[in-house]
Amino acid sequence: MTDIIALYGSPRRKGNTALLLKKAVEGARDAGAQVDEIVLRDFKISPCMEIYGCKKEGECAIKDDFQNIRDRILASRGLMIASPVFFYTVSSHVKMLMDRCQSLWVKKYWVQGVVPGQSPPIRKGLVIAVGATKGKRLFDGMLLTMRYFFDVLDMELWDSLLYRGMDFEGDVLKYPEYLDQAYARGQDFAHAVME
């Protein structure tokens, strides 16, 4: 079992969320955790086609890189997921993965008949997000989406690192305190996951 999956959800390889997540990965590794990094843009994942091939056994009928990523997440004890705010929610790369996890939702609630709210979480999640603007409700949409995604993965939201006012690639480098915070929370997350 892997300790932690680090999921890079931005289309930018060296964007703000990627730089922050890299720091969190560094912190988690320095704390002794085994971290498996996944850069979503490197994988071919179809959107959910809503054919409900998963109705029978909870297995998605579309065969692509989704299964690889799903299995790696399910074999972990924690997920650090980084996404820019795109139209007040997650990036399309992240959303595509989330929608394919509807097969896990079907498996949990339809196939296995789990009663909502009655399966204790077995994983922890850390969200890292960046938006360009500064509104109070900038992360509301994303966090709601994440909450339901995490439920499907039997995951509780451990913490979220949310940063406003950064737009261009590398803007986060102007704020070393954010990168230090990501490193420190990465360390804390590793300890929490390995408890």
Ligand X SMILES: Cc1cc2nc3c(=O)[nH]c(=O)nc-3n(C[C@H](O)[C@H](O)[C@H](O)COP(=O)(O)O)c2cc1C
Nearest to 68 by CA among 36, 95, 21: 36
Q: How many residues bind ligand X (CB under 6 A)?
A: 19
Which tokens belong to 185? 């929370």
* Residues 150/126, Cβ–Cβ less than 8 Å: no
* DSSP letter (8 states) at residue 89: B
Report the nearest approach of ligand X to the CB of residue 165 (Å): 8
Q: Are 85 and 11 in contact (CB under 8 A)?
A: no
* Binding status of residue 195 toward ligand X by CB under 6 A: no
Residue 17 in contact with ligand X, rule: CB under 6 A: yes
DSSP-assigned beta bridge partners for residue 97: none
State which residue has the least CB distance to ligand X.
15
**Closest CB to ligand X among residues 60, 90:** 90
Site for ligand X in 110-129 (CB under 6 A): none
C-beta of residue 190 within 8 angstroms of C-beta of residue 4: yes
Written as one string, the DSSP assignment of 77-88 is EEEEEEEE-BTT
Q: Which stretch binds ligand X (CB under 6 A): 47-55, 79-87, 118-126, 180-188?
A: 79-87
- Taking contact as CB under 6 A, which single stretch among the options 16-24, 36-44, 66-74, 143-151 is the one that binds ligand X? 16-24
Is 54 or 86 the residue whose CB approaches ligand X more closely?
A: 86
Binding residues for ligand X, rule: CB under 6 A, are 10, 12, 15-18, 84-88, 130-133, 138, 166-167, 169
